[in-house]
Structure 1
Amino acid sequence: MKVIFHKVSERSYFSTAARDDGVTVRVPGYDRTSPVPHDLAHFIAERELGIGRGFWGSVAAGAMFTNMTVVEGRRRPHADERSRLIIKANGEGLGQCEGVAGAVHEAVEKGQSAEIALEHLRRMHGVVSAEPLAVGAADLAEAISSLSAAADRWAETPIGEGMALTWELPTYEPRRRAQKSNGRKGRIRRSA
């Protein structure tokens, strides 16, 4: 999936994501209080830490969050059902990616070490998951370095232009429930 972060002004942006299903969606940005856009921090942190079931992985798989709009292409039949299944199945990953992106973003904004980011993440992680934290200081150091480089590129991006990145992590593919066909219970309708 190709994602472009469009710089509207020094304080505003939006993103477009050209998904593999032929649909391009627009993700609105919000006025920023920091130099690095929140959605860019999510993208880099999720990609670098392999969180394929976070926000951007969900978008790549076909999720449509309420603030998103289709700007190009045609959604497939049952796209709304697929979106709901993806969001539900990725719920824990979506919660975890908020903490991870927040820790990486804050480390870049405040010039913090990976160790400080890890402590921040540990505090946040316990709120969203009972599972052990699968990220260490070395992982965070790489994500922080990547986000710092992306922040430099963003700072150099002129207003009215965009910064393109590629999402290559595998996506979750939900399976549709079996449906009745021709009144026969248990038959699955197949589409070409």
Structure 2
Amino acid sequence: MEVIFQRVSATAYFSTATRNDGVTVRVPGYDRTSPIPHDLAHFVAEHEFGLARGFWGSVAAGAMFTNMKVVDGRRRPHADERSKRIMKANGLWLGAGEAVAGAVHDAVEEGHTAERALVALRKMHGVVSTEPLPVGVEDVERAMSALRAAEDRWAQVPAGEGMALSWRIPVYDPGLGDRRSKDRKGGRRKPRGVR
């Protein structure tokens, strides 16, 4: 998925995401007081931590959050049902994405160490899960470094222009299961070219 963070003014932005199905959606931004747009922090942190089921991964899979709108392309049949299924299945992960983005964003903007950000991240993670957090300080340092680089790039984008980033994490769609690989009679489909 290709995402463009479009600067409107010094404090306003929006994003467009062109998904692999050819649909482009617009995600509104919000006026901000920080140098890093919230959605950009989400993108970088979720991508660095490999969160296929956070906000941007859900968008890539076909989720349409209420504040989004299609600006190009044609949605597939049953797209609304698919969107609801993705958001429901990814609910816990959407919270995890918010925690990861918040911890990394705050650490970069407030000049905290990766160790301090990891402590904050563990606290936030504890609210949504009893499982241990599967990341270490090196992971947080890598995400913070990537966000600083994105911040530097964003600072160079003039009003009316955008910054493009590629989402390269495979899409997770909880409803597909084995349905793609079975024919209507319930048997396995043969690969193309096999008789």
Q: TM-score, normalised by structure 1?
A: 0.90
Question: Would you say 1:155 and 2:155 are equivalent positions?
Answer: yes
Partner of 2:126: 126
Letter in structure 2 aligned against 1:12: A
Return the alpha-carbon distance in structure 1 between the equivalents of residues 101 and 10 of structure 2. Answer: 21
Aligned pairs, number: 180
Partner of 2:144: 144
Return the alpha-carbon distance in structure 1 between the equivalents of residues 151 and 176 of structure 2. Answer: 39
3-state SS in 2 of match to 1:6: strand
Return the alpha-carbon distance in structure 2 between the equivalents of residues 131 and 146 of structure 1. Answer: 26
Deviation at 1:128, TM superposition (A): 1.3
Partner of 1:89: 89
Return the alpha-carbon distance in structure 2 between the equivalents of residues 100 and 173 of structure 1. Answer: 21
Deviation at 1:125, TM superposition (A): 0.9
Q: Deviation per CA, 1:65-102, whole angstroms, max 9, x where unpaired?
A: 00000000010000000001111111111010101000
Deviation at 1:175, TM superposition (A): 2.3
Structure 1: state its 5+ residue gaps: 178-186
Return the alpha-carbon distance in structure 2 between the equivalents of residues 176 and 151 of structure 1. Answer: 36
3-state SS in 1 of match to 2:134: coil
Deviation at 1:136, TM superposition (A): 1.0
Return the alpha-carbon distance in structure 2 between the equivalents of residues 176 and 138 of structure 1. Answer: 34
Out of 73-82 and 127-136, give the one that drifted further.
Answer: 127-136
Does the 8 Å CA contact 1:82/1:174 hold for their aligned counterparts?
no
Q: Which of structure 1's runs of 4+ aligned residues deviate more than 6 A?
A: none
Out of 120-129 and 14-23, give the one that drifted further.
Answer: 120-129
Deviation at 1:28, TM superposition (A): 0.2
3-state SS in 2 of match to 1:74: coil
Letter in structure 2 aligned against 1:2: E
Partner of 1:80: 80
Q: Deviation per CA, 1:118-148, whole angstroms, max 9, x where unpaired?
A: 0111111111112211111100000000000
Structure 2: state its 5+ residue gaps: 178-184, 187-195
- Note the aligned Cα RMSD (angstroms): 1.5
Deviation at 1:173, TM superposition (A): 2.0
Letter in structure 1 aligned against 2:34: S
Question: Would you say 1:19 and 2:9 are equivalent positions?
Answer: no
3-state SS in 1 of match to 2:5: strand
Partner of 1:184: none
Q: TM-score, normalised by structure 2?
A: 0.89
